[in-house]
Amino acid sequence: MTAPLFLRACRGETTERAPLWLMRQAGRYLPEYRQVRAGVSFLELCKTPKLAVEVTLQPIRRFGFDAAILFSDLLVPLEAMGLAVEFTDEGPRLPQPVRTPADLGRLATFDPAARTGFVLETIAGARRELGDTPLIGFAGAPFTVATYAIEGKTSKGFGETKKFFYREPEAAHRLLALIGEATRDYLVAQVRAGAQAVQLFDSWVGVLSAEDFETYALPPTAALVAALRATGVPVIYFGNGAAAILDRVARVGADVYGVDWRLPIDEARARLGGARAVQGNLDPAVLLGPAAEIERRAREIVRRGGKRGHVFNLGHGITPDVPIEAVEALVAAVRSC
């Protein structure tokens, strides 16, 4: 039996067509997700394996995507490390963020089975239902998780994060290393529970200068990627807004690089030093436009991505306002290439 399309593309193999999944594919643009979510809070949904399995499967049933992604959130391991996390209508809030070196004393690595058993159960449960469709586990990359620990919410300017880095560099390195170690244990546990690939979301890395990327983000991320690759599953690193520093990004050592929409995918690949596999690139906002434009742009990405080591995806997560018909048009276009 040949391995699933998605896993072959992740390994840099040539595939008959580009496998396709979408970041944030399980979420509010799906009526069946909104229905489940009507009865429970977002964190309850993440922590109830039966429901989390159900929403993980929803986009696979509806669109037949070539990979499923664990339904959870980037902030789940931060809560397990000891920081309280709340989800409000305005997004996530951490009421006691890390602002001083002493605050680091409130954070610790954790036993994934003891603190995040619901995630491992969700993975095992989803695997039982998924058949041949591979399951991706995920976590935030150390820098992006650190921004939530320090800012206490999704930030615009990331002023608190940078202030902490520049005023307390030693504590900043300790925080990033600690998050990296906790994330390693957490993702190794996800792989043992059945995740067949893992993705690191570095959603806010684009706010860093090249120097700060090299100083703060790269060392803990490269160490994490190396430890994860030792498990044998493909490691995907998605850096949003990182087009200007892709030469440095390549040094994280991932199997697959997720790229946003700022550069054409072939140019991004060249700047990554010819990455063995790339994923992403369609601006999610294109899904708010007409079907003909979605098709044209999707075909262009398929052409530029090439047949070798190419996973089709968006350049960032799908937004709640995307119509189902737009996703149908996208799936049909990518499948017909």
Residues near ligand CP3 (CB under 6 A) are: 23-28, 37, 42, 69, 71, 73-75, 91-92, 138, 154, 201, 203, 316-317
Question: Is the Cβ of residue 306 or residue 317 nearer to ligand CP3 in the bound state?
Answer: 317
- Least distance from ligand CP3 to the Cβ atom of residue 14, Å: 27
- Residues with Cβ < 8 Å from 160, sequence gap 6 or more? 97, 99, 150, 151
- Least distance from ligand CP3 to the Cβ atom of residue 257, Å: 15
The catalytic position among 29, 33, 148, 257 is: 148
The CA dihedral of 66, 68, 69, 71, to the nearest 10 degrees, is: 150
Q: Is 99 a catalytic residue?
A: no
The catalytic position among 33, 66, 73, 186 is: 73
Q: Is 202 a catalytic residue?
A: no
Cα separation, 105 vs 132, whole angstroms: 44
Question: Is the Cβ of residue 24 or residue 47 nearer to ligand CP3 in the bound state?
Answer: 24
Q: Which residue is nearest to ligand CP3 (CB)?
A: 203
Backbone phi, psi, residue 86, to 5°: -125, 150
The burial class, CB within 10 Å (0-12 / 13-18 / 19+), for 227 is middle
- The full length of the chain comes to 337
- Please say whether the beta carbons of 68 and 62 come within 8 A: no
- Least distance from ligand CP3 to the Cβ atom of residue 74, Å: 4
Please list the residues that pair with 237 across neighbouring strands: 200, 257
Question: Is the Cβ of residue 154 or residue 215 nearer to ligand CP3 in the bound state?
Answer: 154
The catalytic position among 37, 93, 192, 299 is: 37
- Least distance from ligand CP3 to the Cβ atom of residue 228, Å: 16
Please list the residues that pair with 138 across neighbouring strands: 199
Question: Is the Cβ of residue 91 or residue 232 nearer to ligand CP3 in the bound state?
Answer: 91
Question: Is the Cβ of residue 22 or residue 246 nearer to ligand CP3 in the bound state?
Answer: 22
Residue 251 tokens, joined: 């040094």
Three-class SS of residue 10? helix
Q: Is 28 a catalytic residue?
A: yes
Q: Is 33 a catalytic residue?
A: no
Would the CA dihedral through 123, 127, 130, 134 be positive or negative? Answer: positive
Question: Is the Cβ of residue 8 or residue 153 nearer to ligand CP3 in the bound state?
Answer: 153
Q: Is 37 a catalytic residue?
A: yes
Backbone phi, psi, residue 140, to 5°: -80, 150
Please list the residues that pair with 278 across neighbouring strands: 257, 310
| DSSP summary character for residue 285 | G
Which amino acids are annotated catalytic?
24, 28, 37, 73, 148
